[in-house]
Structure 1
């Protein structure tokens, strides 16, 4: 379980970025797979989510996770829902104490946000499509509608794929460069192939949050693809020809 120091210091806010360790799943999903969208045993996924929430002193049914679709859609959450029944969206916000906002990821960037003074928290799933499409700004905007102020928000970018592991093709940068020529700095040449580049997802996500005037942006220096003992990874599983992969859980909530 990983945390961000400045979020830990916020009164009334609890959060965690969970690794793959400490669960009951077997095989490809060993061991803390929290994704109902995987082909894992549903009972194991439910128990893993219960174990994760217990670390945060919450019952498992307090957790709300979405049907993530790499969009810029954001929903306000007033109560949790049954596992697997979340709306199609990639961002959530709430002012309701005890409702745990959960993001599932396996290379994409989980982002947790909080304005403790306003009593507002948010969470979003930022893969490259969602990030370039505006999910980060949309999540911040939804928090502002609930009374948050951008300058007071503390954001934590959790475990995601690192630039060294994120090789992309020559056409991949186009939507980023069309958006802003300065985004070229998030791409570096590949040493392996002249027609490949490496993309800095977490650097790009951090920049988008800063452009949205978020007051404090923190990044965990992890590589989900390059650390198989600690994290699940879609890209690593795909390269290995594996049929599926586990999902990591990140959670934030307001205490009572």
Structure 2
């Protein structure tokens, strides 16, 4: 039995399992110290492989990892026969290219969706009957670009029927830590003037605002027809013992949000 690792429980929804990993319990060394699950950040590949092996013990299947690029592409995990797990061969990670997308959906029970983050939003979406689930990676660019709406559209197309949706927004950079300039604020206000409520001006730094990224996502989800939106309330920047944070540390690891439908 591999050692346990720390994790934060996701939403308590019937028919759904979800959790977010934390940085305690892994073998990576500084600056990735702990349970780094990102293979692309410069960490020792063998350490990441060990961390992912520990993660796998808590899952019903290998995760569907994505090559996240801050875009809006949605991967249908049920429509591909590609292997979704990298393997360790001769002390180096085998050549494997995960699908390039920032969201994934599935209707298959036990198929695990995975989103890697270190300040960006991990968002889990499911229908009320728990027949389809989606997971999305949303930084501010992906959010403005419509990654959440794209995910919902693909889920609705897959089910072929109108559904009542609910969403959970996991640990991410909080409203007291996400400083942005006028370009980011203007991008959100161009989409919805009401988003101004999510920006607090920095009186000590002209031209800068504190932005509430989770609430900006929640507003978009509600506007897109999601009836129930739950927020974790956890800030990755302010909890260095729990979470990796790119904004705080620069070179750092990645936590993962895992979600799947139960059988």
Q: Could you tell me the TM-score, scaled by structure 1's length?
A: 0.90
Q: Provide the residue aligned with 2:43 in structure 1.
A: 40
In the superposition, relative to structure 1, how do residues 150 and 182 fare at CA in structure 2: closer, same or farther (>3 Å)? Answer: farther
Alignment of 1:45-124 (within 5 A): 45-56=48-59, 58-59=60-61, 62-78=62-78, 80-83=83-86, 85-115=97-127, 117=129, 119-124=131-136
Structure with greater helix percent: 1
Q: Does 1:2 align with 2:8?
A: yes
Q: C-alpha deviations, 1:180-219, integer Å up to 9, x for none?
A: 1111111101143122111110000111111111121100
**For the Cα contact (< 8 Å) 1:120–1:148, is it kept in 2?**
no
**Residue 226 of structure 1: how far off its partner (Å):** 1.4
**For the Cα contact (< 8 Å) 2:156–2:163, is it kept in 1?**
no
Q: Does 1:235 align with 2:235?
A: no
Alignment of 1:148-167 (within 5 A): 151-167=163-179
**Residue 157 of structure 1: how far off its partner (Å):** 0.3
**For the Cα contact (< 8 Å) 1:151–1:215, is it kept in 2?**
no
Q: C-alpha deviations, 1:13-56, integer Å up to 9, x for none?
A: 21111111121111111101011111111121122122223224
Q: Provide the residue aligned with 2:150 in structure 1.
A: 138
What do you get for the CA RMSD once the two structures are aligned? 1.7
Q: Does 1:182 align with 2:185?
A: no
In the superposition, relative to structure 1, how do residues 54 and 152 fare at CA in structure 2: closer, same or farther (>3 Å)? Answer: farther
Q: Provide the residue aligned with 2:237 in structure 1.
A: 225
In the superposition, relative to structure 1, how do residues 37 and 148 fare at CA in structure 2: closer, same or farther (>3 Å)? Answer: farther
Partners of 1:139 and 1:119 in 2: CA distance: 15
**Residue 150 of structure 1: how far off its partner (Å):** 6.3
Q: Could you tell me the TM-score, scaled by structure 2's length?
A: 0.87
**For the Cα contact (< 8 Å) 1:161–1:225, is it kept in 2?**
yes
